[in-house]
Amino acid sequence: MTNNMYLVFSEKPDHISVDDYHRWYADHAQENIESPRFVSAQRYTIQEIVNSEPAGDEQHLALYEYAGDMSEWRTDLTRRIATGDVVLPEWFKQIKFKSWTCTPAGGLLTPQSR
């Protein structure tokens, strides 16, 4: 794995159902990876665990793999939103987002003996 990762953690607005949120995000993740330099996307339902117990509300993680500089896909995605090729729902700004860009720090490690 030599590509960069972009992790997007999100929490849906309270008034949106889990099913509606996941349905929208599946479509949105596909829209995102149509921009150049995106390699793949994988979505996850996540639950924080503290002292072996679920803590907080269920959340969502979209893990994107991309090659090169993120400005390439960011610029294209911004353009596609501005032109209406990507349409965000009216409640989009109510989603609580946190994101991380991740670039490899050294080579991929694998088990030495199996």
Give the residue numbers spanning the domain of 90: 4-102
**Residue 1 pLDDT > 70:** no
Residues 4-26 pLDDT 10s = 999 999 999 999 999 999 999 99
Using the structure block, give the residue that is written with the tokens 């993120």. 70
Label residue 56 left, alpha or beta by phi (over 0 means left) and psi (-120 to 50 means alpha).
Answer: left
Q: Is the Cβ–Cβ distance between 28 and 11 less than 8 Å?
A: no
Does residue 113 sit within a domain? no
In angstroms, the CA 29 to CA 36 distance is 14
Report DSSP state, residue 107. P
In angstroms, the CA 54 to CA 36 distance is 38
Number of domains in the chain: 1
pLDDT at 54: 81
CATH of the domain at 17: 3.30.70.330
Does residue 61 sit within a domain? yes
